[in-house]
Amino acid sequence: MNRDMSYSKFSLDITICIVIILGFLGCTKVTEPITTNLSEITGTENTQTSIKSEVYHRPIILPTIADVVRTVEPGVVSISVDILSRGIFYDFTDEGSGTGMIVRPDGYIVTNYHVIQDARDIEVGLSNGSHYSAEIVGLDLLSDLAVIKIGADKLPTVVFTEADDIRTGDWVATIGNALGLKGGPTVTLGIISGLGRTIRTERGDLYDMIQTDAAINKGNSGGPLIDMDGKVIGINTAVYGGAQGVGFAVSSGVAKPIINSLIKKGKVIRPLIGLSGMTNTTELSDRFDLGTSEGILITQVAPEKPAYNAGLKAGDIITSLDDQETDDMAEFLTVLWSYTVGETVKVDYISDREPQSTIVTLVERPSP
């Protein structure tokens, strides 16, 4: 009897030890939710169903964030601006802050348009503690991007990745001069929570934006959104008011040609078609009896502009440009802005429920 009790006690002790060890191992390894493969299910009425399952534990492996940050941090700068504001009785100087990225070793820095808009003085702080005055090279309101320059060379630069390499759910980090706090940049971690977003700002609509839940605070504007290789996938731009964990960045695919144009020409030259429109939807189609829920619904045509001269009018629905489908405004503008001033474009559209086609010659869009 004593032997049986000792054996039971010994078995219980072994079981407890195993549970403790397994519990410890489970707490020290980050895993994805368990995936169950119902490879064999058998059962009959009034009998217990047996389920044979295979359980996979797939670890989520992240690089050390500090190492990732260290690769890009030398190319990230803080920006302080003095803005002259005009009051009713007197003028006064206001201060602002933001972030930028060095894109060329000879001192060219990209940031947000709204960071340096109306700035009287711009000061740039480098990661090594040195400070420089900066001058504006070019501004682009439509993308909320700007390029400034400091008098320095042999500077460390950031590296942009290709837009096609990013996916919803990928890990990302932000680096920036959050809230203008002293003592170095602020780093936050999150994921890409959406792609191809369109957001409305005080300066107009921004298209093809990256959405992230990594915290983007005031002062982060103009800083990098980076992947786990330390490459820039976007330029932090906006926080969605009234929502937590929703921030946006201009994708690298959109930003790179704009940055190059600002450096070379001081502005972005875009073609003008001369119309306003909106993405067609089922609701719009039903409400106005359009006969289709696809394409771009023209809401206004500017007199004596290319669209007007080609015979397009309000109420027409554009379905493609040079046989490239335009299902929403983001696609429409992406295709349109891929052309140069003076080029001709075949526009397929629906007018009074009848398919039509016309040729439009694009002109230069005036700077805003």
Convert the pLDDT of each residue in 309-367 to its tens digit.
Answer: 999 999 999 999 999 999 888 889 989 998 999 999 999 999 999 999 999 999 999 87
Instruction: State the number of CA atoms in the 13 A half-sphere of 83 facing the CB.
Output: 15
Specify whether 292 is located in the same domain as 223: no
Specify whether 52 is located in the same domain as 66: no
Residue 125's pLDDT is: 95
Q: Which residue has the higher pLDDT, 286 or 17?
A: 286
Per-residue pLDDT averaged across 228-254, rounded? Answer: 83
Q: How far apart (Å, rounded) are the C-alpha atoms in residues 290 and 344?
A: 27
Domain C-terminal end among 214, 247, 268: 268
Please write down the HEC assignment for all residues of 218-261. Answer: CCCCCCEEECCCCCEEEEEEEECCCCCCCEEEEEHHHHHHHHHH
Per-residue pLDDT averaged across 225-249, rounded? Answer: 83
In the set 97, 114, 140, 252, the catalytic residue is 114
For tokens 């700077």, the residue is 367
Per-residue pLDDT averaged across 196-225, rounded? Answer: 85
Specify whether 16 is located in the same domain as 40: yes
Per-residue pLDDT averaged across 124-145, rounded? Answer: 95
- pLDDT band for position 92 (cuts 50, 70, 90): low
229 is annotated as an active-site residue: no
Q: What is the mean pLDDT of the chain?
A: 82
Per-residue pLDDT averaged across 37-53, rounded? Answer: 40
Specify whether 261 is located in the same domain as 275: no
Specify whether 199 is located in the same domain as 73: yes
Q: Which residue has the higher pLDDT, 136 or 208?
A: 136
Per-residue pLDDT averaged across 99-125, rounded? Answer: 95
Q: How many structural domains comprise the chain?
A: 3
The CATH number that applies at residue 172 is 2.40.10.120
Residue 75's pLDDT is: 97
Specify whether 148 is located in the same domain as 110: yes
**Of 111, 193, 212, 203, residue with least CA distance to 158:** 111
> Does residue 119 sit in helix, strand or coil?
strand
From residue 324, alpha-carbon distances to 290, 328, 338 in Å are 21, 12, 12
114 is annotated as an active-site residue: yes
Q: Which residues of 175-187 are buried (b: 16+ CB within 10 A; e: fewer)?
A: bbbbebeeeebbb
In the set 80, 97, 221, 320, the catalytic residue is 221
- Please answer whether residues 116 and 84 qualify as being in contact, where contact means their C-beta atoms are separated by less than 8 angstroms: no
Most confident option among 7-16, 27-36, 70-79, 154-163? 70-79
Residue 362's pLDDT is: 97
280 CB-near residues (< 8 Å, 6+ apart): 290, 292, 293, 294, 295, 296, 297, 317
As beta bridge partners, residue 235 has: 224, 250
Q: Which residue has the higher pLDDT, 152 or 45?
A: 152
Specify whether 246 is located in the same domain as 286: no
Domain C-terminal end among 56, 74, 99: 56
Specify whether 192 is located in the same domain as 284: no
**Of 152, 145, 363, residue with least CA distance to 268:** 145
In the set 78, 80, 140, 144, the catalytic residue is 144
- pLDDT band for position 36 (cuts 50, 70, 90): very low
Would you state the structure tokens that stand for residue 313, as one six-digit string? 């009018």
Specify whether 94 is located in the same domain as 124: yes
With a cut of 70, say whether residue 93 has pLDDT above it: no
Domain of 258 in residue numbering reads as 62-268
Q: Which residue has the higher pLDDT, 167 or 25?
A: 167
352 is annotated as an active-site residue: no
Q: Which residue has the higher pLDDT, 299 or 38?
A: 299
Specify whether 70 is located in the same domain as 206: yes
Specify whether 87 is located in the same domain as 235: yes
Residue 87's pLDDT is: 63
Could you give the angle at the alpha carbon of 212 between the alpha carbons of 208 and 216, nearest 5°?
A: 110
Residue 3's pLDDT is: 44
The CATH number that applies at residue 291 is 2.30.42.10
Specify whether 78 is located in the same domain as 51: no
Domain C-terminal end among 215, 235, 268: 268
With a cut of 80, say whether residue 18 has pLDDT above it: no
Q: Which of 9-18, 64-73, 312-321, 338-347 has the lowest mean pLDDT?
A: 9-18
Other CB atoms closer than 10 Å to residue 83's CB: what's the count? 15
Per-residue pLDDT averaged across 199-203, rounded? Answer: 74
Q: How far apart (Å, rounded) are the C-alpha atoms in residues 262 and 283?
A: 40
Q: Which residue has the higher pLDDT, 194 or 53?
A: 194
